[in-house]
Structure 1
Amino acid sequence: MNIKKIQEKPMVIHTKQKNQIHSHQPKSVTIKGGNIYTRTRSPKIKAVAVNKNFSKAGKSSPQYRNQKPKKIHLKSTVHGEGNVKEPDKGKLQKKAKESNQSIKGKQTNLHITEQTGAIGARVATDQMEGGKEIQQATYMAHEAFRPVTGIAYLSANALKKQIVERKKRERKKVEAEKKLGKKSETKSTKETARETTSKATNETGKRKTAERATKPGTISPDTARKTTPVAGSMGRVTGIKKKLASGYTSRIAMEAKDTKAANKNRKLAFFLDKMKAQENQQDSIAKLMKDLVTKRAFQWIKTVAPMIGLVLLLLVLVVAMITIPVIAVVAVLYNSPFALFLPPLETGNTVQTVTSAYVAEFNREVTTVASDHVGYEEGQIVYVDYEGTDAIPSNYYDILAVYMVKYGVGDTATIMNDTSKAWLKSVVEDMCSYTTSTGAETETVTEEDGTTSTLTTTYLYVNISLKSYRDMISEYGFNKDEVEMLEEIMSPEYLSMLGWSGSEEEGEPGIGSLIEEEINAILASISDTRQKAVCSYVLHRVGYPYSQELRDSGNYYDCSSLAYYGWKSAGVNISNGGATTAAAEGEKLEKAGKTVTLDAIQPGDLIFYSYTNNRRYRDISHVAIYVGGGKVVEARSIKYGVVYREIPNIGKIVLIGRP
């Protein structure tokens, strides 16, 4: 077998040529002489010059075969005083015409630019290690950011379109105003000419009429003037009406177009906002509808306003003249303590509701402490030094008045925000407080068999101190004006506006005034001079106001001061070591053995009541003066003052004393 051996071909390794960098050589200029300069051409331009010389003398001409390029000498057009050839006039005109032409540049398409950049990046990374990975990462980044770039492109175009549209509208408005101004100027010129012509015609007509009046059968000038139609005046009025109507119509059309464009831009803004991420969106369909409706309403108002403008303006002026003073007064009141009696500015919490909540919270806390009475057999709530007819005393209205005077001057304290609630809370804490104390009480118990024994009970006392508005005058340092406001708010008239009904004690209100004849009729049945003097004093005080703070002023009374000054007028001092409270007066009389029963009561006797625990003698909190006929005189409360009425609440009577 003949085996043919194929001659192996040599292996050829193909290598890629490196990219050659072609650089542009700038022209070099050297100063040659006084008023010429030498410009050296590049090798390419030199070759062209040699070829041109060869083409003139022949390619095979010996004189150009080894010829070196010449240097071209040009006269200077800036320096020197050489003779310069005048330029051709036609060329100058052509250059001037070309210089006035605008320069226009081609707009490069964004997609072409992106493709060109991608091709350039691929060529640049082909020759480097890891180039493929760089290309893939670039393509992935491009695809990932394509939606963002698309939205940015759309937003930019939309913004640009919006600016262009706005400028077009502004330009149209200016052109319309100019056109309207030119029309008005033209019309005014025509009207002036028409008036001049009309005057001249009228003068000529008057002169001719006067000439004809001298002839028989002619019409007098007065008759002619009366029968001549006022066509010129009517024409001017009609022209003015047409001009106003035309201007009004064009303005309405422009307003409608502006409204339409504004609504379109608002919808576009809403669309762009919805293209954002959910957490970055700030617009809503409700805001969009509100803006669209508001814009449409304004457009309608502008359309209708000229027709009803004068009537509306007069109406607004009349309403303003009436309401502005009222609004000013209301604004002052809402920034004063008397805002307490005005309707609330906001829905929800008011000063009254928040104060009630704070007072109720305080009472719950006190009741809880007394009910638990840990370590003691009983718990008891004590209203320290309370004097009155309420079973559960409260200073709720005092708190309202003090808070409004302290924080309502120059501020709207009736708006219950966090700050005002903190202010009110501090006032409640200053005026409502309690302490605890302990004690034991021993009583004698009689058994069924007649024997007696003692029973001792331990108590936890919760001592409540309720300050009045009078106590806070010195504590808060109120001035004279603030004290007057406090007194006015705490008057029965203003308290009634807040829902205050007076004392919790039931029964008829009593008579608040007595005339002299009625007083004398009551005193006629009293024979004892001391008793008559006491009853006369208290009967003449019926109708006086109630006040514990001003009880010694002679113009205000509380229950115990009325009893003290009544017996003082008869020469008897019923104070107990200087104390003139109801409990102190009752204690003195009982310990002196000067007590009587209800059946043996006489005019001038003092009836003592207990309505609540106050840790005073026998928990006495009220006293009334008996004047005969089953009637008493007592300083009942702030609402009623000193009254004349039937003996109240016999079941609450603790003792009856006769000084």
Structure 2
Amino acid sequence: MKIRRVQDKPMELHTKGSPKLRIRSGKKQIKGKSTVHKVKRSPLSGMKRKVRDSGASVTLKKHSLYTMGRIGAKKASEQIEGGEELAESAGLTAFALSSAYSSANQISHIYRRKKQSGQMKAANKTEDSFNRVKADGSKGYVRKRDTVSGTSSNIERKKYVVKAKDSNVKKQRGKGGTSSDGKGGRKQGFVKTRMLKAFAKKKEEDSQTNVSQTVKEAVKGRALLLLKKIVTTVLPAFLGLFAVVALVGTIVVAVLAVIYNSPLSVFFPLPDTGYDDPRTVLSSYYMEFNQKIMEMEDKGDDITYQNTENGAPISNFNDTLMVYMILYSDGKAGYVMDEEGKKNLKKVFDEMNYIDKESSAAEKEVGDSLGKVWVTAYCPCSQCCGPYANGITASGKTARAKHTIAVDAYNPIVPMGTKIVIEGITYTVEDTGNLNHYGNDFDIFYAHHSDTSQWGRRHVVAYLAEGNTNKVVVTSSGTTVHNLTYEDYIKKGTLTKEQEEMLTDMMDSDLWDQYYSGAAGQAVAELAMTKIGCRYDQDRRYEEGYYDCSSLVQRLYKEAGIELPATASEQGRYCYQNAMLINKKDLKPGDLIFYSYEDNGQFRDISHVAIYVGNGMMVHAANPERGVVLDPLRDGSVVFYARPYK
């Protein structure tokens, strides 16, 4: 990231300018010497003007102090964030209070005017009476009345009114009346007073109602103003955010729709469709297929695989699954295992996994290995030879122990007269029999039936012995399991160029490494590392601190919640039956490696098992001398690799 350097500049101090005073008196504005700027009117300027006008009608003793306070408050509001809004709110409150105060003043003023009007009427009556008394001369003196005009002082009028009132009262008392006219004036004055009070009270109530209504309207106006600000500022941003979220949501939905209708859906959590998972269905196909292979092995068929790695058959489970997804999930939810989906998956499975019983011929030189062959034994008794129990071979020669050996009469592995070395003894092919029917390649002659029983049926390595011609054509008959890889399927030429490229990309090992978490296997690998140094003992294999190879695997996987058989060969059978085989390049911590070091007659002659712990290392119970040890991964004599969980 590049950082752009900003050129240093001297720090500038920003300060407020000199205050700009505007002093109001009534409705006229007196401008001072300072510059007066035009103020931008807000939506509440009308209300604030009414507040100022109402404030101008109230007499204050220290008007200059009031003016300075208003100016100071205004300047203070300008210096703080949100001060203008606070000032407007304060103005609303001031307007409400000033309105109430003005209304009260108006009521008081009306009341005073009514009261003074009554007093003036009484004074005028007294004045008229006084003039009449003067004309009659009943009092014996004459007093000149001061002329009261519109320009006379209030003080002189009040003095005269008071004197006239006193004279009138005395006159009324002298006559014993209740009023100046002597006709119930007191009652009439009382009624008028109550009317004035009622009028004043009504006026006050109306004023309070107007104040309350004004405050409500002001608050409502303020709320509407804030709402308007929210709509004009926040709403566009919100709508923009909503539009972005909606757009992103639409894109996500569209992407997911594309993914789940493409081969990539197999790498994502599949939705609950009510159907089986394609991996579960494919596993069931492999289980049926592998069961047939094991039955053929039990009958003696020699099973070979088209694709192997270090002698171990490869697993093409992922290859089969991905070919199906490429062919049947483009624009369609290929993970839906309805009847049509199962039919299509089975079609792909049968194309990539099938069995051939065939014979193959190859030239071998003296000393070459024929590989492992199935060998039985027979003698010249009727139980072994039936009607041919005379010891005469198919070649016309008499059979001899440790010399004569027989091959299949219809599909011999080597020609008659070929010399074969089996377990250090050289035999000559001189006889034939129905060997392939029982899955056998050679039949060794013994003189006594007890020897044949002791030999039984063995799977051993055979070699071409000296005395043969330079080359011998060896015909191997047996069963070949075709386990096609995705590359083999591409070679068939049935895919388009685009399909071939996508299939190749989806079979990338890094992609599958990300898919398989190996959580259970990792736990097993970590437990296995804690057992290094424990003793090897088959008799005490279930005691703490003692293990053999298979009990180590069984006990550690049991701690991880997975139940496995007790012996190595049965653990291998379990993994093979349940389509749990994997390839060496896919090994993860916790995976198992099965070995064959001897012909023990067990499943695939498995005699040992180890636990892969990562970084090319494995933990296993080796032997009584070494115990449980950490060794480099061994490639020799591997039967297959397996991951005993899904």
Using structure 2 for the length normalisation, give the TM-score: 0.30
Could you say which structure has the higher helix fraction?
1
Structure with the higher strand share, 1 or 2: 2
Larger radius of gyration: 2
